[in-house]
């Protein structure tokens, strides 16, 4: 009888132990190989990282310089634009009560009426220059600051219109601001987390728009002068949204519209006692070189001035263009650039 047959249990246990040992050895070798691969990959990445730290990054020196110059130029443009807009930024103003605003509105109304009447510019009946709402009421306390700014901007603009000397101010319409209706009154939180009523919310925008509409009648030169003063203003920033210009006459000009000036020149006749003879006593060289005295009774007639070759219609337009008035309608915004937030 063999040993295995006599010791079946011990032989089986030894066989199982050998198989398990082989499996464990195989798994260990496999894990060891994978670990070594991971270590090698880590070492490769670490070496690459160290090399990148030591090397000069992309772009090249020349490209980097061009890029830096472009960024500096861009920053300069942004700074210039910012400085321009900061020139229109609202400065610190004292608190204004509703009654104080009412007095300023009355003062503005009086001054504009005097200037328009003095210039002979017609005004619409019962106008309050866009602030008709406050002829019989007072604004809310939280709206007075922005309304004061809009009032000053409207007075400045209408004063420029007076200087342009239009024929008539047709209308001026001011669109209500959100703060007038209380829409901007929300949300400054109290210590307990609730909103404090009556305190204007702080807008995230750096500006607010104050829409207005203006219509007037004037000559082409008055319109041009007014628009130039509007867009070149250093006091207030105006953004024109729409501009419509229409001729006063809807029908095209005809021959009857022409207003040709009459020729007021008169011929100077010999012996006219009212005109001193400018040629008396003057001698001119004759054909043979001898001096010939001019006969005071004979006058040389100058050649007529050359005439422009124009068609009949062109001549008519040349006489009537510039005399006709034009109707102008402008929709624009007064841009209210908010004051810089105070830092504690």
Tokens of residue 296, six digits: 């005071």
pLDDT confidence of residue 64? 79
pLDDT confidence of residue 187? 43
pLDDT confidence of residue 200? 47
Q: Write out pLDDT tens, residues 165-182.
A: 999 999 999 999 988 887
Quickly list DSSP for 289-327: S-EEEPPTT--PPPPPPPPP---HHHHHHHHHTTTS-EE
CA proximity to 166, closest of 326, 330, 338: 326
- Give domain status of residue 306, yes or no: no
What is the distance in angstroms between the CA of the first residue and the CA of the last residue of the chain? Answer: 103
**171 and 234 part of one domain:** yes
Angle ∠(204,207,212) on CA atoms, nearest 5 = 135
Count other Cβ atoms within 10 Å, centred on residue 300: 7
d(CA 27, CA 303): 123
pLDDT confidence of residue 334? 93
The radius of gyration of the chain from alpha carbons, rounded to an integer in Å, stands at 46
DSSP letter, residue 59: S
The range of the structural domain enclosing residue 21 comes to: 1-55
Q: Can you list the residues of the chain whose pLDDT is less than 70?
A: 1-33, 56-59, 92-93, 183-204, 252-323, 340-344
**104 and 165 part of one domain:** yes
- Give domain status of residue 264, yes or no: no
pLDDT confidence of residue 14? 63
**24 and 105 part of one domain:** no
d(CA 198, CA 143): 11
Please report, for the domain that includes residue 130, its CATH number.
3.30.70.60
**Is residue 30 within 8 Å of 38, Cβ to Cβ?**
no
pLDDT confidence of residue 148? 93
Q: Write out pLDDT tens, residues 284-296.
A: 455 455 554 545 5
**215 and 133 part of one domain:** yes
**109 and 222 part of one domain:** yes
- Give domain status of residue 16, yes or no: yes
**105 and 4 part of one domain:** no
**24 and 72 part of one domain:** no
How many domains does the chain fold into?
Answer: 3
pLDDT confidence of residue 257? 60
How many H-runs (helices) and E-runs (strands) does the chain carry? 8, 8
Bridge partners (DSSP) of residue 283 are 293
pTM, 2 dp:
0.57
**69 and 152 part of one domain:** no
d(CA 279, CA 21): 144
pLDDT confidence of residue 275? 47
**2 and 136 part of one domain:** no
User: For the stretch 134-164, what's the b/e string if a residue is b when 16 or more beta carbons lie within 10 angstroms of its beta carbon?
Assistant: beeeebbebbbbbbbbbbebbbbbbebbbeb
CA proximity to 215, closest of 171, 153, 162, 160: 171
Residue 301 burial (C-beta neighbours within 10 Å; 0-12, 13-18, 19+): exposed
pLDDT confidence of residue 89? 73
**126 and 65 part of one domain:** no
Instruction: Find the largest Cα–Cα distance for the chain.
Output: 178
State how far the alpha carbon of 323 is from the alpha carbons of 166, 249, 312, in Å.
Answer: 13, 11, 19
pLDDT confidence of residue 211? 95
């Amino acid at each position: 009888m063999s040993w295995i047959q006599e010791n079946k249990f011990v032989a089986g246990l030894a066989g199982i132990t050998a198989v398990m040992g082989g499996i464990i050895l195989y798994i260990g070798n496999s894990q060891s190989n994978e670990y070594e691969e991971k270590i090698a990959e880590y070492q490769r990445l670490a070496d690459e990282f160290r090399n990148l730290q030591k090397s000069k990054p992309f772009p090249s020196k020349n490209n980097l310089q061009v890029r830096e110059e472009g960024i500096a130029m861009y920053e300069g443009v942004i700074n210039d634009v910012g400085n321009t807009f900061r020139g229109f930024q609202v400065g610190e103003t004292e608190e204004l009560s509703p009654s104080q605003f009412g007095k300023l509105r009355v003062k503005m109304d009086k001054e504009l009426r005097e200037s328009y009447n003095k210039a002979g510019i017609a005004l619409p009946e019962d106008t309050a220059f866009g602030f008709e709402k406050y002829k019989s009421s007072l604004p809310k306390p939280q709206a007075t600051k922005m309304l004061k700014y809009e009032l000053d901007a409207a007075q400045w603009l209408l004063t420029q219109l007076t200087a342009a000397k239009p024929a008539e101010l047709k209308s001026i319409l001011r669109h209500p601001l959100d703060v007038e209706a209380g829409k901007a009154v929300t949300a400054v939180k109290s210590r307990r987390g609730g909103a404090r009523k009556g305190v204007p919310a702080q807008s995230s925008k750096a500006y607010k728009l104050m829409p207005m509409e203006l219509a007037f009648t004037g000559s082409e030169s008055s319109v041009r002068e007014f628009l130039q003063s509007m867009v070149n203003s250093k006091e207030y920033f105006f953004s024109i949204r729409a501009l419509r210009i229409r001729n006063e006459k809807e029908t095209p000009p005809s021959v009857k519209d022409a207003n040709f000036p009459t020729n007021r020149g008169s011929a100077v006749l010999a012996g006219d006692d009212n005109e001193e003879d400018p040629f008396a006593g003057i001698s001119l060289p004759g054909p043979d070189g001898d001096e010939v005295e001019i006969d005071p009774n004979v006058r040389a007639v100058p050649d007529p001035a050359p005439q422009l070759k124009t068609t009949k219609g062109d001549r008519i337009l040349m006489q009537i263009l510039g005399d006709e008035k034009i109707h102008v309608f402008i929709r624009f915004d007064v841009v209210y650039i908010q004051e810089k937030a105070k830092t504690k």
